[in-house]
Chain A
């Protein structure tokens, strides 16, 4: 079996990178699409095969270790060169760090420390690989249809569709590598490589705005990468070349550095700005970066660290930072009317939640984090794709412009409704995650408070949006959307996936997540948290099923009772104008018709983005600093 495993690894990491590489060479469209399907399918197939094989350690050829040691400074140099080209001294300086460190390790003499490079396939990495390959793969398929249309109405750029899609596919490989490797050097390499890819993807449009965003993304993530590089250097100096050995040690500095790295990648406060900037990129990029890859690297890392945080103050602070991010990002999203930005803030918030749970250090919390991670990946990818489709059709990503789309774009909107419902409605997965998270945090009052406030705030923006897309005028006859088969089929698949995953939320809980978290925590867990986990397990599934049934019956009964003849104009104080076109015009000043408009509330004076940033960013920075304060205590 050993051999097969290695091939699987190749399929997961190398094939996508290879496919991407070929595509970057401007191949014809047909071949390009073929390559995408090939790359995507291979990854999906390999990930499933890998998962079926269970957990295992695989030792690879030792030369890979040497290769890592060589590659690491090279990647650093590449970033450094880009930094020079975009004239950012800061990036240069930070990217030069790995070079210097390599030099330092050459001098100290523990260069190429490991005899063998190990790939650890444990339950966590399996879950990650599955998410990355399946969700990511589907997104790349979607991108085929999307970019077709996108290229039709946007000016061609330096990175035309071919190389763009190439980078997209290669990204999957890099991410898979990131979550599989146990070697700190390779981790750093993959980490930096994903940063580079995201830089290319965000800068795709070539406009001023996108260039700035790309640059910001590079800056922030290079900072994270540098932290990671320093962490790995320090760890190696102490003789821990691999993640697994590092985690068993009690070295705090590398842990803290890695936590910072994970925060920057997961766009936690105060690092959130790059993710918002990334919204300028075409929608598949946002979907990929936000749901299954990039940001999830941050969450992956912090989950990896979780067992080592064993009731340390460090864990508490990570948890606090996460919870704080959750509450603050939720608050900021209230004032957003741009659909993609709302999604971005919601992503940040949920990643915060994951970090908060990871820091709590209990099996229940870990299970909660994992649940959120999985369901978030699927739901968020779905939502991004929906917003992208909607934007292509109605030409706007503003929430207020999305009224009535249920009739214009029945398929996309239905899927979007499922996606949104899955973010906040029982019995969908996200809510179960949140539920577990709150129960898991009962012993940490501060974190609990932040979680409670945050989840109350999330209601605000989701319901606003959900209300808006289900709005329908009286009797609108719309021309129905036309969406390419690539896009519609993917939307459909993902919608069904969300539904089924939520249906199976409890079985997934019992058979997947609980074992994982036990395998990580079995020996550490405190009594109460274990019993809590059991109580989740003991929670009867029936209420969830009944809830789903209630939804179904309500929808059916409700729509069956409806008759067109029952339609009346809405109430406008008696001054309705019964024009055939609009149902919301009233006669006003001088008998002239006026349109009744009521947008949702954004409360920008209370929840304005800048206002909250001004308060929250400094606090977040203080939290990050205190992360280090703990070490030097």
Chain B
């Protein structure tokens, strides 16, 4: 007779840099039910946004989450710009792509490192995070912030990239790729790593679509969906091939992220090369009215902001639906039936960001 075990997984748990609780019901070490309990990082950001003025909200939006902070400010600015019919200067659109893609590289390296940590590969974790510091150096050099960049603003960007910094970025990217080439094969080809990833947490394509998976999780299951294809910012003028995999397991998700590192580096290079000259910002007057659902492809997938203005400096409603929020139902699906040892791996593989999920 098997008796069921119930254990809390989180909120204070070392594998989760962020607090969320999964209540795991297990038979021996096999998970039969996993239910999330959230609200440990709910700050009430949507309400705060209504109380601050819409320019201050740029700073607030950046702090929805520190990992892809730039994407949040970018999406917010794009939403407000579309409400106010602001035409963003071309150079600013390209600059946004540069920072967004560099941000994506940092975010992917971060989560790949955490993934390595989740399956107990400390060296790999350390190496990936050490390379990530090179990315942070780029950000610090170009924006003055390591994590929260604070460069996006309504109507454009605040800082320019000079030819020298552009060269610096290119050199740094080469260095990053050189160092990654020594480390990434271990993540994609090592026996012990594959043992922990291949066939773990399988999410079939139809389930992925039905449960609303987004970003690398969806793409790893073969759902071709990448909002960059819709051509916001300067993506319409750059070439890139969407990365998809079909297996739908943790390994596929890892591969998607690994391959996206290359796409992002490539996009950065393209954007730097094709960078038009001109101003980086336009003046913005008035207040937003109307409603919009602004969308953008974040490192973790599709990010939605519903912004409703009422003609005053305060917004009527600001709602955030982040990719992790969409990826939680697929996570529950993947967890059922897996082994306890695989819980951290599967959880990290959706790249959970609770902070933006709960706002």
Contact = CB atoms under 8 A, between A and B. Distances in A.
Interface of A: 337, 400, 572-575, 586-590, 594-599, 601-605
Interface stretch (B1-9, B189-197, B297-305): B1-9
Given A573-B12, A601-B28, A588 B7 contact: no
Contacts of B3: 337, 400, 597, 599
A579 to B, nearest CB: 15
Interface in B8-45: 8-13, 21, 23, 28-29, 35, 37
A589 B28 contact: no
B5 A588 contact: no
Given A588-B37, A594-B6, A574 B23 contact: no
Given A573-B13, A589-B35, A602 B2 contact: yes
Given A574-B12, A588-B37, A598 B7 contact: yes
Lowest 9 CB-CB distances: which A-B pairs, in order? A574-B12, A599-B3, A588-B23, A586-B8, A598-B5, A573-B8, A597-B6, A601-B28, A589-B37
A14 B12 CA distance: 70
B154 to A, nearest CB: 39
Interface of B: 1-13, 21, 23, 28-29, 35, 37
Given A574-B11, A574-B12, A601-B29, A588 B21 contact: yes
B8 A588 contact: yes
Contacts of B37: 587-590
A382 B86 CA distance: 87
B21 A575 contact: yes
- Which of A400, A573, A587, A596 has the largest count of B CB atoms less than 10 A from its CB? A573
B9 A602 contact: no
Contact of A603 (B1, B28, B35): B28
Contacts of B23: 588-589, 594
B36 to A, nearest CB: 8
Nearest to B36: A589
A575 B2 contact: no
Contacts of A590: 37
25 contacts: A573-B8, A573-B9, A573-B10, A573-B13, A573-B21, A574-B11, A575-B11, A575-B12, A575-B21, A586-B8, A588-B8, A588-B21, A589-B23, A589-B35, A590-B37, A596-B6, A596-B7, A596-B8, A597-B3, A597-B6, A597-B7, A598-B5, A599-B3, A601-B29, A602-B2
B42 to A, nearest CB: 13
B123 to A, nearest CB: 27
A2 B11 CA distance: 81
B1 A337 contact: yes
Contact of A575 (B4, B5, B8, B35): B8
Nearest to A592: B37
Contacts of A595: 6
B68 to A, nearest CB: 26
Contacts of B5: 597-599
B272 to A, nearest CB: 45
Contacts of A604: 2, 28
Given A573-B11, A604-B28, 12 more contacts: A573-B9, A573-B10, A574-B12, A575-B8, A575-B11, A588-B37, A594-B6, A596-B6, A596-B8, A597-B6, A604-B2, A605-B28
A337 to B, nearest CB: 6
Nearest to A599: B3
B328 to A, nearest CB: 14
B280 to A, nearest CB: 46
A248 to B, nearest CB: 52
Nearest to B26: A598
A578 to B, nearest CB: 15
A405 B7 CA distance: 23
A587 B38 CA distance: 12
Contacts of B10: 573
Contacts of A586: 8
Given A590-B37, A597-B4, A602 B28 contact: yes
A396 to B, nearest CB: 12
A601 B1 CA distance: 11
A595 B9 CA distance: 13
A464 to B, nearest CB: 12
A190 B4 CA distance: 48
Given A588-B37, A601-B29, A572 B2 contact: no
A601 B27 CA distance: 8
- Which of A587, A590, A599, A604 has the largest count of B CB atoms less than 10 A from its CB? A599
A603 B7 CA distance: 18
A273 B7 CA distance: 37
Nearest to B4: A597
A597 B28 CA distance: 11
Nearest to A576: B8
A171 to B, nearest CB: 32
A587 B10 CA distance: 11
A586 B2 CA distance: 23
Nearest to B19: A574
Contacts of A575: 8, 11-12, 21
A603 B11 CA distance: 29
Nearest to A574: B12
A588 B9 CA distance: 10
Nearest to B10: A573
A594 B8 contact: yes
Nearest to B7: A596
A601 to B, nearest CB: 5
Nearest to A590: B37
A440 B29 CA distance: 39
A534 to B, nearest CB: 47
B203 to A, nearest CB: 23
Nearest to B14: A573
B28 to A, nearest CB: 5
Nearest to B5: A598
Nearest to A606: B28
A31 B42 CA distance: 76
Contacts of A594: 6, 8, 23
A434 to B, nearest CB: 28
A587 B4 CA distance: 18
A602 B37 CA distance: 29
- Which of B2, B8, B12, B37 has the largest count of A CB atoms less than 10 A from its CB? B8
B191 to A, nearest CB: 23
Contacts of A588: 8, 21, 23, 35, 37
- Which of A590, A594, A603, A605 has the largest count of B CB atoms less than 10 A from its CB? A594
Nearest to B35: A589
Contacts of B2: 602, 604
Nearest to B28: A601
Nearest to A588: B23
Contacts of A572: 8
Contacts of B9: 573
Nearest to A604: B2
B63 to A, nearest CB: 24
A506 to B, nearest CB: 41
Nearest to B29: A601
A602 B30 CA distance: 12
A402 to B, nearest CB: 13
